[in-house]
């Protein structure tokens, strides 16, 4: 029978429904390796771990052995030993571990420099973190809530956060960096195996932190450009209501606006269109196309009574077509 605490520790992490099965790891304690940096980092990890395990066993083993062997038989024996100092031994255990530890430093520093030096010819993707969504933007303007990258190509992610600190964590690529509001951070990786791998937020960012999960899809290099072009076209070809639904999920609307009538951080979209709402200043507004558009571009202009001025503006982030799509989607929530 497994200890209940252990059972809990090994319970699978709940993953939102839209994240498909991910590549299982061949290792017991490390995630599946899928970037050029994975092997060197795993090697260093294993080196540090085994040095620690061996030193620990050696120290504890010798200590227990000596404590038992040289135990004082009586009060008289205490402090009478003539061999309480041995210069040779002291030099041995001071200098002996030095190369082992220096190797950790040199090896680790090399890895750090390699991880933090972005190659010049890298393919660039923009990453936006917000409570509690990841959004990826491609050079052709295509946006997606899943990261897609070509296999065998160096990718540079330029990262920022809209609201609070988040952390962009790609365990399969062995890399992670904070997403900071008001500044850009970056990381790079070169995927080595097509497949799907998890992306986590690794910085506590509020009640939805544990659900701030998405995935990275590594495409075959030859088909990536074609995929990106098609994905961009497919978005443009969507009927307004479907485009609106996509934006609802992608742009983080779903974090604050429910579709079932329950109030969250913002008003629910169910039955919203055509409704008369009382604003925080007591005036009343009929929810029509213009009000929705204004609320997306200038959310603080008119706030429904009972809600806080917390919505970020989407000015410059959503095209007119996407805004019209969102309006169509809200209309459909009867």
* Residues engaged in binding ligand CUA (CB under 6 A): 129, 132, 166, 201, 203-205, 209, 212
For residues 252 and 129, the answer to whether their CB atoms sit within 8 Å is no
For residues 301 and 294, the answer to whether their CB atoms sit within 8 Å is yes
Instruction: Pick the closer one to ligand CUA by CB: 166 or 174.
Output: 166
Instruction: Pick the closer one to ligand CUA by CB: 159 or 323.
Output: 159
Ramachandran area for residue 144 (φ above 0: left; ψ -120 to 50: alpha; else beta):
beta
Instruction: Pick the closer one to ligand CUA by CB: 148 or 209.
Output: 209
For residues 149 and 218, the answer to whether their CB atoms sit within 8 Å is yes
Instruction: Pick the closer one to ligand CUA by CB: 129 or 170.
Output: 129
Buried b (16+ CB within 10 A) or exposed e, 292-323: beebbeebeeebbeebeeebeebeebbeeebb
CA distances from 123 to 79, 138, 270 (A): 69, 9, 41
Tell me how far, at minimum, the Cβ of 212 lies from ligand CUA, in Å: 4
Tell me how far, at minimum, the Cβ of 135 lies from ligand CUA, in Å: 12
Tell me how far, at minimum, the Cβ of 205 lies from ligand CUA, in Å: 3
Tell me how far, at minimum, the Cβ of 184 lies from ligand CUA, in Å: 17
Tell me how far, at minimum, the Cβ of 186 lies from ligand CUA, in Å: 18
Instruction: Pick the closer one to ligand CUA by CB: 216 or 328.
Output: 216
Tell me how far, at minimum, the Cβ of 253 lies from ligand CUA, in Å: 17
Tell me how far, at minimum, the Cβ of 32 lies from ligand CUA, in Å: 22
Query: Which two structure tokens, joined as six digits, stand for 207?
Result: 């009640």
Instruction: Pick the closer one to ligand CUA by CB: 207 or 276.
Output: 207
Cα distance between residue 145 and residue 137, in whole Å: 9
Side-chain half-sphere exposure of 250, counting CA atoms within 13 A = 23
What sections of the chain are H helices per DSSP? Answer: 4-9, 38-69, 87-95, 97-116, 221-237, 240-250, 289-297, 320-332
Count how many residues are written for the chain. Answer: 334
CA distances from 289 to 66, 246, 247, 250 (A): 82, 19, 17, 21
Instruction: Pick the closer one to ligand CUA by CB: 154 or 166.
Output: 166
Q: If you count DSSP H runs as helices and E runs as strands, how many of each does the chain have, helices first?
A: 8, 12
Tell me how far, at minimum, the Cβ of 129 lies from ligand CUA, in Å: 6
Instruction: Pick the closer one to ligand CUA by CB: 172 or 213.
Output: 213
Ramachandran area for residue 185 (φ above 0: left; ψ -120 to 50: alpha; else beta):
beta
């Amino acid at each position: 029978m497994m200890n209940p605490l252990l059972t809990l520790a090994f319970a699978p992490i709940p993953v939102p429904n839209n994240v498909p099965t991910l590549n299982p790891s061949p290792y017991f304690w490390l995630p599946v390796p899928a970037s050029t940096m994975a092997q060197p980092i795993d090697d260093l990890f294993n080196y540090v771990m085994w040095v620690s395990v061996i030193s620990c066993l050696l120290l504890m083993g010798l200590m227990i052995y000596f404590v038992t062997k040289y135990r004082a038989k009586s009060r008289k024996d205490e402090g009478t030993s003539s061999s309480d100092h041995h210069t040779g031994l002291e030099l041995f255990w001071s200098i002996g571990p030095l190369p082992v530890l220096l190797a950790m430093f040199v090896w680790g520093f090399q890895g750090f420099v390699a991880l933090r030096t972005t190659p010049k010819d890298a393919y660039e993707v923009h990453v936006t973190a917000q409570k509690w969504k990841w959004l990826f933007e491609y050079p052709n303007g295509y946006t997606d809530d899943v990261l897609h990258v070509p296999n065998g190509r160096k990718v540079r992610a330029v990262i920022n956060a809209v609201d609070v600190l988040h952390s962009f964590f790609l365990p399969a690529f062995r890399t992670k960096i904070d997403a900071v509001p008001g500044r850009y951070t970056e990381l790079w990786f070169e995927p080595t195996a097509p497949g799907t791998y998890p992306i986590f937020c690794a910085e506590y960012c509020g009640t939805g932190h544990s659900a701030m999960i998405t995935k990275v899809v590594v495409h075959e290099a030859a088909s990536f450009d074609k995929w990106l072009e098609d994905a961009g076209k497919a978005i443009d070809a969507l009927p307004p209501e479907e485009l609106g639904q996509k934006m609802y999920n992608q742009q983080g609307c779903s974090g604050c606006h429910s579709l079932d009538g329950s109030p969250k951080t913002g008003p629910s979209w169910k039955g919203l269109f055509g409704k008369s709402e009382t604003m925080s200043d007591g005036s009343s507004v009929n929810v029509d196309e213009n009000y929705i558009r204004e609320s997306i571009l200038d959310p603080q202009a008119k706030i429904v009574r009972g809600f806080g001025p917390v919505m970020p503006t989407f000015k410059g982030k959503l095209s007119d077509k996407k805004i019209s799509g969102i309006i169509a989607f809200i209309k459909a929530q009867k």
